[in-house]
Structure 1
C-alpha cells in the first residue's frame, strides 16, 4: 500500500499542490517550503488519531489565515446630485482565496466580498492510495477505482477490460475536508471516501477504523518521543498494547494492586494520626453516611488517571539505576521510538511510514541504519531531511525537490543531471559538492576552491566592518558550490536553476563563448577582469596589508628559503604564498584581516551587487514638497584608489 498522488488545497502555506510520490522518497527544500505541511496533510487524511483532537484544525491551518468570507459591505447612500451609483456585488470565484476581514498587505491579492450563498472555504486534502492488499480491497470494495502507474493517473475509460494490464491496479481515494462552522463558531473536519462526495446523496465517512486498516505512521521526533512509552491515548505503547490485545488484563490487575496499597499507614510517619484527627472532627458534624475514614492512595484508581501517570523506566549506565524514558538523551529516545515503530510495522505488515529529520541527535552511521531499516519495514516511506548521509541513501528519482512560489503553489522538481555531471560523479561528490545546493534556495557557483573559500570569507568580514552596507552570504541564504573548473560553471548552474533556485556565478575573465553559456544559466554573473583571483587581490589591496599579513603567518619552508626578505618584496612573496595555499584558504585568511579600505574594490562591489539582487533596497517614499529653485550641483565624492 502506498500513496501515489497527494493533492492539497488551502492548507497552511500551500494554496495548491499536486504531488506524485514514489514508493520511497525524501522531501527536500529550503526551510518553510512545505515539507512538514505535506506530512501533516497526510496525517489529517490518513492518521487514525489526528481527528480525535478537538478541534482538528484551527485558524492557522488555513492558507494565509483565510477561513471565512468577508460579508458584503452596505452600499453608501448617494450624497447629492451626481453621486456615483453603487457597484453591484460580485461573488467570489470558486478558487479565489478568502479573507478574514484583515486588510490586504502589499503583495497579497485582494478578495471580493461574498454573497450569502457562497460555499464555505474548505481545506481539501485528497490522497490516492494504490497497491492495496486483499483485505483492503474487500473492505473498501464499494469505493475502489483503478490507477494507471504508467500514466500516473486514474483509469477512467468506460471499458472494464482495460483494467486487466499489470500497470493498472485497484486504488482508493480519500479526501479530508476542514472548514469553519459559522453557526457553532468553531472548526470541524472529517475524512470521506472521495467517490461518495460526488456519487452518493450523503458522503461516506472514512472512519478511524478504516484508517487503522490502512496503517499510516507519522514520526515527529519531539512530539512522538515525549510520550512514546506512556499510556496516553494514541501513544506508541498504547498502539502496541491495542494490537496485542493485552489491555483488559493489565488495567484490572494494576487497579487491584493499587487499591490494596495504603500510603503512610505507619503512625511513626506522623501522617495517619493527623488523618485520624480529621476523621474524629468530621464525626462531630456529619453522619457517617456522609463520609469517614480518610486515607491516602497512590492513584485515583481510574484508567484515565493511570494513562497519565504510568511511564516506563530505563536503566542507564553500568549500574541498575533506572530513570524515566523521557529523561534519556535525545538520540537514545529517537532510537527507542524507531524500535517501537518497527514493532507496529511488523504487526501491520503493510504501512506507510512518514518520518521527520531522522538525523536529529543521531550519528551518521545510525542515520543510514534508520533509513535502511524503515525501508524494509514499510511498503512506503516518506522522509524529510537536511542530512547528506540520509539524502545519499535515495536514488535521484526518489529525491523529491520542492519549490513554492509567492502565491502558495507548491510543485515538485525533477533532478536532471547536465551533460558534464555524470551519475558516478554526482554520487561520489554528493556530500561535498551537490548536497548543500539541493537544500538551499540560492546557489553561487564558484570557479574553484579559492573563490569558494575567499569570497564568502570576505563578505562575512565586510558585514562585521559595515553591517548596513554589506551582508554575509549565509544571511542572504546563499550556499557556495565549487565548480572545480570554469568549464563546469554553466552545467552546474543549469542543474540548480532547473530546480527553481536563484543561481549566481563568480569567476575570472572568460572567453566570450563560455561567458555567454554561463550568463544563460545564472541570474547574476560576478566576473572580474583579471586572469586569476590572486591577481585580483594583489592588484586591489595595499602594500601595508600585505606586509602586515606576512608578519602574522607562518611561512612554508620552501617559501622562507625563496623569499628570505619577503617584506622587501611583498607582491612577489605573497603571490607565491597565495598560489602555494590555494587549497588551504590562504586568500580567505588574508581578506579576513583586511580593513574595508584594504579590501579590493571589485570584491566590495560584488558583495553589494549580490546583496541588492537578493534584498532589493526599498524605494524611499518622500512626501511631496513645493518646488524650490535648483541648487548648484555639488562635485561628486571621489573614493580614494587603494589599489
Structure 2
C-alpha cells in the first residue's frame, strides 16, 4: 500500500505531499483538486501504461516544467521483469515532459527499473469516477471489474487442472454435451433453428474455401469455460416475483450494484489493488451511506482506498487521522492543510468517548466547511443564521459556511481546539463569566477569531434592548431569538467582527512548518497537550 505520495506540476497541483492511511478521505470544496490526486495515481499506477501517447497540455500546471509523481510503498513489491529476473520496488515514480520534447518514463524507486505486466498483477490502481454507468462495468472485458474477476476465476480453474486447459475443455465437453444437443436440436423443420444455422454456415464456408491449399471447415462450440463467464448477467428479483435485468433498473439501484461489484473485487483481490473512488455517496440513502463507509473501513484492513466525498456520513472524528483536507489558491495551487501531529490512530482510540460525546453527523460539517462559526446553543445558532439571511445578505450554504451548535461553552472550547488542530478556518462565540477565559478562547479573541459576549446572549441583548425578555423554556427562547433577529433594524456593534468574518472572502490558511531546532512562542494548546506529545493527558485534550 502507499505510505507516501508526491505530486508536482500536475493539473491544479503545483506541489503536494500526502502520507495516506489505508483509508484516505480527500475532502475540500468543488474544484479544489481532489479528483486530480486520484487522476495522478491513475496515471502512475493505473491499469493502462503511461506513455508519450497520454501526454497532453491539460495535464501540466506549467507546460515548461516536468510532471513528477512518486509513490512509496509500505511494503516493497517483488515482481518479475520481462526476462524473469526478480525486481524489488520500494516505490514507483513518473516523470513526464511537454517541452522541449515529449517524454514519459515510469520506473521503480530507488533503482529506476522498468515495470512489467507482473508488477501490474501485484499492484495496480483502479479509478472509479463520479460519472459512472453500470452498463460500462457489466461487460465482461479485460477493462472492467467483472472481467478482471472472471479472468482470475478462469485462470484459477485452469491452475486446478495443473495448467492443462485442454483437459479442462475435454471434461467440460462431456459434461455439457446433453445441453449442447438440446440447444442444437432441429425442433421445427420449417423454422430457422440453431441446427440449420450451423449446417448452412459450414456449407457456405466450405464452398467459399475452394482453391485454398488447406481444408477449411469451421467448428462452432461452447466448450470454452471462459465463454460462459462472458455471458454473465445480473438480474434482480423483487418481492412480487418480477425479474429485471440490472441495466433496466434505476440509477440508485444500479449504483448500489456497481458499489457491490467494487466491494466484491476489493474483498477477493485484497492486497493487490488500490482503489480511488469519487463520491461513493451518490444515489445512496443515509443508512446505506453509513453502511458503505463501514465497509470501506473493513476493506481497508487488507487493501487501500482513496475516496473523495462531500457527505458527513463518510467521515468520522474517530478516524480523523485518515482525513486529508485540500485547499487551493493562486500561489500554491492545490495543497493539503497541515494537521497537528497529535492526531494519530492511538490518540483517537484513547479519546473515543470524549469524541463520541461531542461529534455527530451535523458537527461533522466542520470537515467540509470553508468557514465555521462555533456557538454555544440552538438560540445562538438561529440568531446568527437569521441575521445572516435577513440582515447581512450572507447566504451561508452558497458560501460554504457552517454554524455549529456546540452544546455550551465547554463545547465551544472543544471545537475551537479541534479546528486549531486541523488547521480549519473558524470563529468562536461564547458567553462570558467571572472567570478568565480558557486560553484557547483567549487566543482566539486576541487573534481576531473569537467574541466573548458579556454574561450571556440574553443578558447582553437585554442590556441593549430593555424590552427584550427571554423565556426559560428552550423552544420559546429559540423562537424569541429568531423573531428578534428577524425584526431588529440594528444590532450591537460587538457583532461586527462576526459579520466581517462571515462576509469576507475565505483567507488563505497559513501552513506553519514545525522546526524543532528553533525556539517558538508558547502555544495556548500547550496547557492542554502538556507542551509535548509524550505529556498529553487524554482527559484534558479537546479532541
TM interval, shorter chain, is 0.5 to 0.7
Alpha-carbon distance in structure 2 between the residues aligned to 1:12 and 1:21 = 20
Q: Could you tell me which residue of structure 2 aligns to residue 191 of structure 1?
A: 106
Q: Could you tell me which residue of structure 1 aligns to residue 381 of structure 2?
A: 452
SS at match of 1:575: coil
Check if 1:218 corresponds to 2:109. no
Match of 1:427 among 348, 352, 356: 356
C-alpha distance after superposition, 1:430-474 (max 9, x if no partner): 2256411122232212133321221022211225xxxxxx32333
Residues 122, 336 of structure 1: CA spacing in aligned structure 2 closer, same or farther, 3 A cutoff? same
Deviation, 1:3, is 0.7
Check if 1:314 corresponds to 2:235. yes
Check if 1:462 corresponds to 2:391. yes
Check if 1:360 corresponds to 2:282. yes
Q: Are the equivalent residues in 2 in contact too, given 1:368–1:393 (CA < 8 A)?
A: no
Check if 1:174 corresponds to 2:92. yes
Q: Could you tell me which residue of structure 2 aligns to residue 589 of structure 1?
A: 482
SS at match of 2:284: coil
Q: Which moved further from structure 2: 207-216 or 494-503? A: 207-216
SS at match of 2:437: helix
Q: Are the equivalent residues in 2 in contact too, given 1:447–1:507 (CA < 8 A)?
A: yes
Residues 600, 12 of structure 1: CA spacing in aligned structure 2 closer, same or farther, 3 A cutoff? same
Larger Rg computed on CA atoms: 1
Residues 427, 235 of structure 1: CA spacing in aligned structure 2 closer, same or farther, 3 A cutoff? same
Match of 2:469 among 572, 575, 584: 575
Residues 336, 51 of structure 1: CA spacing in aligned structure 2 closer, same or farther, 3 A cutoff? farther
Deviation, 1:195, is 3.1
Residues 598, 346 of structure 1: CA spacing in aligned structure 2 closer, same or farther, 3 A cutoff? closer
Alpha-carbon distance in structure 2 between the residues aligned to 1:313 and 1:471 = 49
Q: How does 1:518-529 map to 2 (within 5 A)?
A: 518-521=441-444, 523-525=447-449, 527=451
Q: Are the equivalent residues in 1 in contact too, given 2:277–2:306 (CA < 8 A)?
A: yes
Q: Are the equivalent residues in 2 in contact too, given 1:126–1:173 (CA < 8 A)?
A: yes
Q: Are the equivalent residues in 2 in contact too, given 1:28–1:384 (CA < 8 A)?
A: yes
Alpha-carbon distance in structure 2 between the residues aligned to 1:50 and 1:588 = 61
Residues 18, 475 of structure 1: CA spacing in aligned structure 2 closer, same or farther, 3 A cutoff? same
Q: Could you tell me which residue of structure 2 aligns to residue 15 of structure 1?
A: 14
- Alignment gaps of 5+ in structure 2: 159-164, 170-189, 192-226, 508-543
Q: Could you tell me which residue of structure 2 aligns to residue 614 of structure 1?
A: 505
Deviation, 1:396, is 3.6
Deviation, 1:39, is 1.9
Check if 1:398 corresponds to 2:319. no
Match of 1:123 among 63, 67, 72: 67
Deviation, 1:124, is 0.9
Q: How does 1:238-257 map to 2 (within 5 A)?
A: 238-245=147-154
Match of 2:333 among 401, 408, 418: 408
C-alpha distance after superposition, 1:580-639 (max 9, x if no partner): 235873145314642xx63434487456423454379xxxxxxxxxxxxxxxxxxxxxxx
Alpha-carbon distance in structure 2 between the residues aligned to 1:482 and 1:395 = 22
Report the TM-score, using the length of structure 1 for normalisation: 0.57
Alpha-carbon distance in structure 1 between the residues aligned to 2:459 and 2:83 = 74
Match of 1:382 among 306, 313, 319: 306
SS at match of 1:524: coil
Residues 432, 237 of structure 1: CA spacing in aligned structure 2 closer, same or farther, 3 A cutoff? closer
Residues 123, 438 of structure 1: CA spacing in aligned structure 2 closer, same or farther, 3 A cutoff? same
Q: Could you tell me which residue of structure 2 aligns to residue 58 of structure 1?
A: 56
Residues 376, 604 of structure 1: CA spacing in aligned structure 2 closer, same or farther, 3 A cutoff? closer
Q: Are the equivalent residues in 2 in contact too, given 1:4–1:130 (CA < 8 A)?
A: yes
Alpha-carbon distance in structure 1 between the residues aligned to 2:84 and 2:425 = 46
Q: Could you tell me which residue of structure 1 aligns to residue 457 of structure 2?
A: 533
Alpha-carbon distance in structure 2 between the residues aligned to 1:310 and 1:521 = 64
Q: Could you tell me which residue of structure 2 aligns to residue 338 of structure 1?
A: 259
Q: Could you tell me which residue of structure 2 aligns to residue 442 of structure 1?
A: 371
Report the TM-score, using the length of structure 2 for normalisation: 0.66
Tell me how large the CA RMSD over aligned residues is.
Answer: 4.5
Alpha-carbon distance in structure 1 between the residues aligned to 2:296 and 2:394 = 42
SS at match of 1:37: helix
Alpha-carbon distance in structure 2 between the residues aligned to 1:139 and 1:591 = 79
Check if 1:37 corresponds to 2:36. yes
Alpha-carbon distance in structure 2 between the residues aligned to 1:362 and 1:34 = 24
SS at match of 1:474: coil
Alpha-carbon distance in structure 1 between the residues aligned to 2:356 and 2:59 = 38
Residues 447, 339 of structure 1: CA spacing in aligned structure 2 closer, same or farther, 3 A cutoff? closer
Alpha-carbon distance in structure 2 between the residues aligned to 1:22 and 1:481 = 28
SS at match of 2:280: coil
Alpha-carbon distance in structure 2 between the residues aligned to 1:331 and 1:50 = 33
C-alpha distance after superposition, 1:328-373 (max 9, x if no partner): 2333223212332344335534232333332222233323433344
Q: Are the equivalent residues in 1 in contact too, given 2:7–2:70 (CA < 8 A)?
A: yes
Q: Are the equivalent residues in 2 in contact too, given 1:178–1:190 (CA < 8 A)?
A: yes
Q: Are the equivalent residues in 1 in contact too, given 2:279–2:309 (CA < 8 A)?
A: yes
Deviation, 1:46, is 1.0
- Alignment gaps of 5+ in structure 1: 69-120, 145-170, 198-203, 250-264, 267-305, 464-469, 543-570, 617-643
SS at match of 1:507: strand
Residues 422, 22 of structure 1: CA spacing in aligned structure 2 closer, same or farther, 3 A cutoff? closer
Check if 1:501 corresponds to 2:424. yes
Deviation, 1:128, is 0.9
